[in-house]
Structure 1
């Protein structure tokens, strides 16, 4: 009897141990997989408290907002973040892109930060939002929209040379990091699964960019960014050089910078890092699904899972490992064991912004074009004058002479002969009475031009 009870107790312990081992195995294999979740099994359903009858209380289980690779099918909400500064001219194109996005619009919450603007960015933003949210097709309307206005004392200009000049990079990156952190911290809600950062001055991007990036199921992912150029500059060019993989030269350079506020900025001869840049890895015929591990990333287009920011990753507004803003965000996220990747063959296009040197060259080209045009016109004019001046017109004169003589009536010419008085009489010596008498005689002659004086006329009656 004792043996039987001992066997039953051992069997119970073994069964419990087996179930516990299976549960742990399931947790290890499937709890982090987006394709399968323990919550789908009825006996693994977590306890959900019911606060429906408690006014003012909202309950969120953050396990439900981890970010799925097929989020557009699972109802994942995206927080679409857009910093704006003097962006009025870019907003029409930006909202044109937004209206064409294939991701469900009702799952996109947009938040804008308008800062340090001197143009009508706010007015233009309100105008386009009114149009977007007033569409008859409610499926085209977006979810929640928030607008924030806050200045950060940005003293750097918005021209290409101002924003991309070497001297401005460190302070500019730190200020931009502050703006990004402020916008992200006040807008991220517990029900957001993804966060997408997008610059307003993107010219061309696929309408399916959300789905294209999301289905890679990476914590942080960026596309390749190029820009079109005028033909005289080479047609196209890599734009975003902030997405890169660390190199030994980069690490050594960072170690040589003793100033704790120093910031390495990529793509400038002052900092030769010899890193592998995502932009230069592009192959027009490459597979857009190919991935490349990155350390630093650019900020033109970033898709990240919301949990990356919830767990503390951000855009350092200080020198973090000698980097700041988006490049430092990539490095910090890697330190937190999140995967950071880029797509070398998946490209979006930034607008072309001429630098100061480009503007000078374009002005020279315009003057040169005008000079060549004036020179061509002058040459054509002199060529015409030269041809006319040396034309053989002898045959033309012969033809004209015959035409003149052929149409000339000599009879009428003789009857209308012109008589010239070559006498030496000076009218100035004639008295007024003589002038009157002469005029009367002329009138008499004019009135009786045919009267003839009889031959036997004797005025003295002799």
Structure 2
């Protein structure tokens, strides 16, 4: 699958055809010969014993020669600034890919929403050691991207490089993040980064932006946000979401840190080829990590000086690499790849900072332990479902053994209540009648009559 040429930006666009190039070459040779002849004639007629020195500085400017195939760059114009979009500063967007077919649609969705002028962004991809259809999906996404009817959504030049580096470490979370794999894996990744950078960087690039394909959430203004700090090297904080049973969220990139005394002492005890990898109990460095300093409500502009950096998202001035900084594919101060790159930049006097409260989100990749726990949870869910089905069957059989007397009971209940009400009314009437009779009798007898018990003679009490 090839991209339509009409939608691609060729670095030689505006060049000349082979026939025209041949003609211009003859003109150039003829012009040089004419210049030498005039110099000789000038010497003959002036009597000067020295020829006019023939140097490139004595030639007219390239633009005056009309040679479209010759490009002149003043690298002082491509040093990068805080507002690159206002100065038409070009950004080289670099993406190393390995078995990334599943993540590419997400990556291109983020790229499409970026607010930095797309025409100022050149893309370069390195596909290496892939077993899936990374290349096919990449070409499909690029074709869709560059065929957008909205021309402002199309990017500048696009280059795809393919090279294997013999990466034997698997792409599973536990494979990639296992302690034993870190040293060899980091060194191979450093080679891949350096290779991609060396073939893609052009003199008209002011910035270089490295990005992993498996970033889930990222601000659309990330390019301008990082660029506004005007630092040589800058990285955001990187976290990842987690399932509820794991705590919802977690710091992801522990490779961004500031050096500690314990880290320096540890480095002194290791062999010269050893590579310290951060975030593992085997190497207790007690370094302050950018990830752990995050405040969800903190100022996103706060900076933290770093010594080592992670590689998920890096913005660096192109001049950093032109000065010789690179990703060490060997042990540099006991570090390699991005962490070694941070160390090297600091050693060269460059600014390396991170933003603790400016966060992007990496996808959640379950570890082997997570997968085992998820398998156990799935088994528990299956058992609960079986119990539910059995309970429903049991309840159905149980209920079928009884007659439904609800309606009959409702009728009986209504009659019972009516009878109770009738009995209550009769009882109330009887009580009322008795009370009335007693009241009438009391009025007839009167309060002055005394009752004398039978069989007892009345005794008159005389006054003494």
Q: Among 346, 365, 387, which residue is 1:375 paired with?
A: 387
Q: For residues 380-425 of structure 1, what are the alpha-carbon distances to aligned partners after superposition, in whole Å with 9 as ceiling and x for unaligned?
A: 32234334436698x99xxxxxxxxxxxxxxxxxxxxxxxxxxxxx
1:51 to 62, 68, 80: 62
Structure 2 residue corresponding to 1:77, chosen from 73, 90, 99: 90
Indicate yes or no: 2:171 matched with 1:158.
yes
**What is the aligned counterpart of 1:386 among 382, 388, 398?**
398
State the 1:186 CA deviation: 1.0
Distance 1:267 1:152 in 2: 26
Structure 1's 217 and 235: CA in aligned 2 closer, same or farther, altered over 3 A?
same
User: In the superposition, relative to structure 1, how do residues 225 and 111 fare at CA in structure 2: closer, same or farther (>3 Å)?
Assistant: same
- 1:227-281 alpha-carbon deviations (Å, 9 max, x no partner): 0111111111100000000111111111111x22211111111111110000000
Q: How does 1:212-227 map to 2 (within 5 A)?
A: 212-227=225-240
Q: Structure 2: which 5+ runs fail to align?
A: 1-58, 409-464
Residue 132 (structure 2) pairs with residue 119 (structure 1): yes
Q: TM-score, normalised by structure 1?
A: 0.73
Shift >3 Å, 4+ stretches:
386-393
Partner of 1:324: 336
Give the superposition deviation at 1:50: 2.6
Q: 2-side partners of 1:392 and 1:254: how far apart?
A: 81
1:138 positional shift = 1.4
Larger Rg: 1
How far, CA to CA, are the matches of 2:166 and 2:222 in structure 1? 33
How far 1:121 sits from its partner (Å)?
Answer: 0.7
Q: Please tell me whether residue 349 in structure 1 is matched to residue 361 in structure 2.
A: yes
The residue aligned with 1:67 is: 80
The residue correspondences of 1:178-327 to structure 2 (distance < 5 A) are: 178-257=191-270, 259-327=271-339
2: distance between equivalents of 1:332 and 1:392?
84
Unaligned runs of 5+ in 1: 1-47, 397-462
Q: In 2 relative to 1, CA 319–49 (structure 1 residues): closer, same or farther, beyond 3 Å?
A: farther
For 2:137 and 2:393, the matched residues in 1 are separated by 51
Superposition TM-score, scaled by structure 2 size: 0.73
Partner of 1:449: none
Alignment CA distance shift 1:58-1:49 (3 Å): farther
How far the C-alpha of 1:372 sits from its partner, in A, is 1.1
Aligned match for 2:109, one of 84, 96, 102: 96
- SS for the counterpart of 1:277 is coil
Question: In structure 1, how many angstroms separate the alpha carbons of the residues matched to 2:318 and 2:159?
Answer: 18
Structure 1 residue aligned with 2:9: none
Matches within 5 A, 1:406-417: none
Distance 1:172 1:315 in 2: 13
What secondary structure sits across from 1:250 in the alignment? helix
**SS of residue paired to 1:72:** helix
1:196 and 1:290 mapped to 2: Cα distance? 20
